[in-house]
Structure 1
Amino acid sequence: MSPVALHTAFEALAYAIGFRTFLWTRRRLAPAAFRHEDHLVWVAVGAIVGAALGAKLSFWLDDPLTAFAEFPDLHHLLEGKSIIGALLGGLAGVELAKKVAGVDNSTGDAFVLPLTLGMCIGRIGCFLAGLGDHTYGVPTTLPWGVDFGDGLPRHPTQLYEIGFLLAQYVLLHRRREALTRPGDRFRAFMIGYLLFRLMVEFIKPVFYTYPGGLSGLQWLCVAGLVYYARDIPRILRALFARGSGAWEPR
Structure 2
Amino acid sequence: MEAAGLHTVVEASAYFVGFRLFVRERRRLALPVLADTDRSVWIAFAAIAGAAIGAKLGYWIEDPLAAFAGFPDARRLLEGKTIVGALLGGLVGVELVKRIVGAQGSSGDAFALPLLVGIAIGRIGCYLSGLADHTYGNPSTLPWAVDFGDGIPRHPTQLYELAFLLALGLVLHARRNAFVRAGDRFRAFMVAYLAFRLFVDAIKPVPYAYPGGLSGIQLLCVAGLCYYCRDLPRLGRGLWARS
Structure 2 length-normalised TM: 0.97
Aligned counterpart, 1:239: 239
Aligned counterpart, 1:94: 94
Aligned counterpart, 1:7: 7
The one-letter code sitting in structure 2 at the alignment partner of 1:27 is R
| Superposition deviation, residue 9 in structure 1 | 0.8
Aligned counterpart, 1:130: 130
Do the aligned residues in 2 keep the contact of 1:33 with 1:108 (CA within 8 Å)?
no
| Superposition deviation, residue 40 in structure 1 | 0.7
Q: Secondary structure at the match of 1:220?
A: helix
Worse-matched range after superposition: 229-238 or 20-29 = 20-29
Residues of 2 paired with 1:150 and 1:87: CA distance?
32
The one-letter code sitting in structure 2 at the alignment partner of 1:53 is I
Residues of 2 paired with 1:241 and 1:125: CA distance?
36
Listed as ranges, the matches of 1:1-250 within 5 Å are 1-29=1-29, 31-242=31-242, 245=243
Do the aligned residues in 1 keep the contact of 2:57 with 2:85 (CA within 8 Å)?
yes
Q: Secondary structure at the match of 1:74?
A: coil
| Superposition deviation, residue 225 in structure 1 | 0.2
| Superposition deviation, residue 4 in structure 1 | 0.6
Do the aligned residues in 1 keep the contact of 2:33 with 2:103 (CA within 8 Å)?
no
| Superposition deviation, residue 108 in structure 1 | 0.3
| Superposition deviation, residue 57 in structure 1 | 0.5
Q: Secondary structure at the match of 1:207?
A: coil
Q: Write out per-residue CA displacement over residues 60-106 of structure 1, whole angstroms, 9 at most, x where no aligned residue.
A: 00001111112222222111000000000000000000000110110
Residues of 1 paired with 2:87 and 2:63: CA distance?
18
Q: Secondary structure at the match of 1:231?
A: helix
Q: 1:137 to 1:35 in 2, by over 3 A?
A: same
Q: Secondary structure at the match of 2:182?
A: coil
| Superposition deviation, residue 27 in structure 1 | 1.4
The one-letter code sitting in structure 2 at the alignment partner of 1:134 is H
| Superposition deviation, residue 31 in structure 1 | 4.2
Residues of 2 paired with 1:89 and 1:125: CA distance?
22
Q: Write out per-residue CA displacement over residues 106-161 of structure 1, whole angstroms, 9 at most, x where no aligned residue.
A: 00000111111110111111101111111000011111111111101111100111
Identical columns (%): 64
The one-letter code sitting in structure 1 at the alignment partner of 2:61 is L
Do the aligned residues in 1 keep the contact of 2:33 with 2:104 (CA within 8 Å)?
no
Do the aligned residues in 1 keep the contact of 2:33 with 2:40 (CA within 8 Å)?
no
Residues of 1 paired with 2:60 and 2:226: CA distance?
21
Do the aligned residues in 2 keep the contact of 1:30 with 1:109 (CA within 8 Å)?
no
Residues of 1 paired with 2:68 and 2:215: CA distance?
17
The one-letter code sitting in structure 1 at the alignment partner of 2:182 is P
Q: For structure 1, which runs of at least 5 residues remain unmatched after alignment?
A: 246-250
Structure 1 length-normalised TM: 0.95
Q: Which consecutive aligned stretches of 4+ in structure 1 deviate over 2 angstroms post-superposition? A: 29-33
Aligned counterpart, 1:248: none
Do the aligned residues in 2 keep the contact of 1:191 with 1:228 (CA within 8 Å)?
yes
Q: Aligned pairs, how many?
A: 243
The one-letter code sitting in structure 2 at the alignment partner of 1:135 is T
Do the aligned residues in 1 keep the contact of 2:34 with 2:40 (CA within 8 Å)?
yes
Q: 1:194 to 1:30 in 2, by over 3 A?
A: farther
Q: 1:50 to 1:41 in 2, by over 3 A?
A: same
Q: For structure 2, which runs of at least 5 residues remain unmatched after alignment?
A: none
**RMSD between superposed Cα atoms in Å:** 1.0
Q: Secondary structure at the match of 1:81?
A: coil
